[in-house]
Structure 1
Amino acid sequence: MTLTTPEAPAGLPAPTTPGRGRGRSRRAGRADTRLPRARARRPLLFWPVTAAVTAFVLAFVAPFLVIVTNAFKTSADYRNNGPLSWPEEWNWDILADVWERVGFTQKLVNSVQISLGVVLIAVVLALFNAYALGIGRVRWRNAFLVFFLAVNVLPQEGMVYPVYYVFREVGLYDTKLGYTLLIGVVYSAFGTYLLTSVFAGFPRELLEAAALDGASRWTTLWRIVLPMSWPTLSVMCVFFFVWSWNEFLMPLVLLISGENQTVPLGLSVLQGQYSSDPTAMSAAALLGVVPMIAFFLVFQRTLTRGISAGAVK
């Protein structure tokens, strides 16, 4: 025997099952009471975070704005109004003057050549070393890792004099080739330590499948390991390029000729022992920063994808 619910007369609400309507009304009432609380909490978290991020951004942008404003001032304007004032008259000729005084074209070409060479040497050496230590599991693996870690923590000041005398003896002093080889080998130690930890967790199933298919070690590295490690390698390339571009101590000691010097050394040309030109130094600093800004704008997606790929397994 089947029971049916009686139909409600016209104009009256349909009857509800006892208990269901009450439960739904209670849940709806609870949802209605929760929504205002969630909406009330959001501004309390939103505004402090926004203020902290704004202060953090201003702390990084403020020095750059000071450099920009001083780069287009005249010397008299700087002496009369100070470094934090707005330029009374924009001096656009100072950039061309500093470009000629520093020889910025040659230094820019030198920095690009050296940075690209450092990236190539450091990444290739780090890739081969990490492939042998992380995947090949060579003998004395831990000892090699300790050695590469020691190279990373060794200060450059402790390497200046030994490298100086060695380069003088072998004929690499004041040459872009010798400096590029040195910085590339030093950076490869950090790359080796980083990639070894990445390759240590590489899926062994892929390596065993490649070995069963008859793939050699070179084929495995080129066809399997390299494509899967490209996000990490791209981040290393960006970091190595920026680090080598901003190097100052080593090129100051090893590159003494004007035709071999890099962009950061161009700033030291405008600083004398007893005199200095703050506006010219600001213009030179602006010329040195602009290429790095353009570099980050071009490779920001590569950097973001590499960091995201490394964070998500």
Structure 2
Amino acid sequence: MRVGIGVRYGILIVLAATVLVPFLGIALAALHPPGSQVGGLGPPDDWSLEAFTLAWERGGFTDLMRSSVLIAVCVVPLSVVLATLAGYGLAVLKVWGGRTLSAAFVLGLTLPVELVVVALYFNLREVGLTNSHLGIILAEAALFMPFGVYWMQTHFSSVPKELIEAARIDGAKDVGVLLRVLLPVSWPAVTTLSVLYFMWSWNQFLLVLVMMQDPERRTAPTGLGLFVGQYSTDVPLLAAASLIVIAPIVLVYLAFQRNFVNGITQGAIKG
């Protein structure tokens, strides 16, 4: 028994080290003075935060971060609301053609962005939505919808039918059942979906690169891609820029860690 527990902890430690050691290396590299040589995981001789300031200024991250925040803040609530309504309609209301719609959403999970980005560009260009934040927001919301609908439909299907029937007996309408009965017990699932949507929206690269021609209106990950091409030999600057881009994701995950883990755990158990 003790041997089995030791093996499990050993595996977890190895996996944690596999994830954390690269981040440690990036953090140590970013603390070197700009332009200095970085050797492995060794700490810098002269500790400096100048690389962060210089990377922020040279990369134009003020505008890039503003665009990323704007897009993510719009995409997440829009997508979560639509996915919740669609999942509720398919799982609880049993709308007409629900099986076909569910199969279509599942099929949409297999659709990569690379396959549709060119056609999407020409379609949005016809209605004047290229090179605009609105076009990116609508495109991301549509691309994220299949997973969100599948996630919420699966969650609502696992809710005890007796809970819904009791609410209907008490006179609750469809909207009341959703808002007063299902959503209060669905907070972990909704939070998990929101965090995933934020991560996907923040990390979106190809779609923004194709749709947004104005470099100053692009997002932080696309700006980081151009930054790497310009300062490929300055490791401290690259490390600092990378940490700047991933910092919001880490903060959001830490803020909603408990609900995120609960949502993932519930989905795994119920699945």
Q: TM-score, normalised by structure 1?
A: 0.79
Structure 2: distance between partners of 1:311 and 1:269: 38
Matched residue type, 2:131: D
Q: State which of 87, 90, 93 in structure 2 corresponds to 1:133.
A: 90
Q: State which of 37, 47, 51 in structure 1 corresponds to 2:10.
A: 51
Closer/same/farther in 2, CA of residues 108 and 273 from structure 1, 3 Å limit: closer
Matched residue type, 1:174: N
Contact 2:34 2:51 (8 Å CA) reproduced: no
Contact 2:83 2:149 (8 Å CA) reproduced: yes
Q: Paired residue for 2:212?
A: 255
Q: Paired residue for 1:26?
A: none
Q: Paired residue for 1:64?
A: 23
Q: Paired residue for 1:11?
A: none
- Give the superposed CA RMSD: 2.2
Q: Paired residue for 2:264?
A: 307
Matched, 1:230 2:178: no
- Alignment size in residue pairs: 270
Structure 2: distance between partners of 1:120 and 1:146: 24
SS of the aligned residue for 1:173 comes to coil
Structure 1: distance between partners of 2:117 and 2:266: 37
Q: Paired residue for 1:24?
A: none
Closer/same/farther in 2, CA of residues 104 and 254 from structure 1, 3 Å limit: same
Matched residue type, 2:149: T
Structure 2: distance between partners of 1:264 and 1:50: 35
Closer/same/farther in 2, CA of residues 274 and 91 from structure 1, 3 Å limit: closer
What is the Cα deviation at residue 82 of structure 1? 3.6
Q: State which of 103, 123, 126 in structure 2 corresponds to 1:169.
A: 126
SS of the aligned residue for 2:197 comes to helix
Matched residue type, 1:91: S
Matched residue type, 2:209: L
Q: State which of 240, 247, 251 in structure 2 corresponds to 1:290.
A: 247
Matched, 1:115 2:95: no
Matched, 1:196 2:153: yes
Closer/same/farther in 2, CA of residues 184 and 76 from structure 1, 3 Å limit: closer
Contact 1:117 1:184 (8 Å CA) reproduced: no
- Larger CA Rg, structure 1 vs 2: 1
- Kindly report which structure 2 residues correspond to 1:66-105, keeping only aligned pairs within 5 A, or say none: 66-74=25-33, 77-78=36-37, 82-105=39-62
What is the Cα deviation at residue 194 of structure 1? 1.6
Matched residue type, 1:64: F
Closer/same/farther in 2, CA of residues 51 and 89 from structure 1, 3 Å limit: same
Structure 2: distance between partners of 1:172 and 1:140: 32
Structure number with the bigger relative contact order (C-alpha 8 A, sep ≥ 6) is 2
In structure 1, runs of 5+ residues without a counterpart are: 1-40
SS of the aligned residue for 2:109 comes to helix
Matched residue type, 2:71: I
Instruction: Identify which range, 170-179 or 202-211, moves more after superposition.
Output: 202-211
Matched residue type, 1:141: G
Structure 2: distance between partners of 1:221 and 1:304: 23
In structure 2, runs of 5+ residues without a counterpart are: none
What is the Cα deviation at residue 134 of structure 1? 0.7
Contact 2:72 2:198 (8 Å CA) reproduced: yes
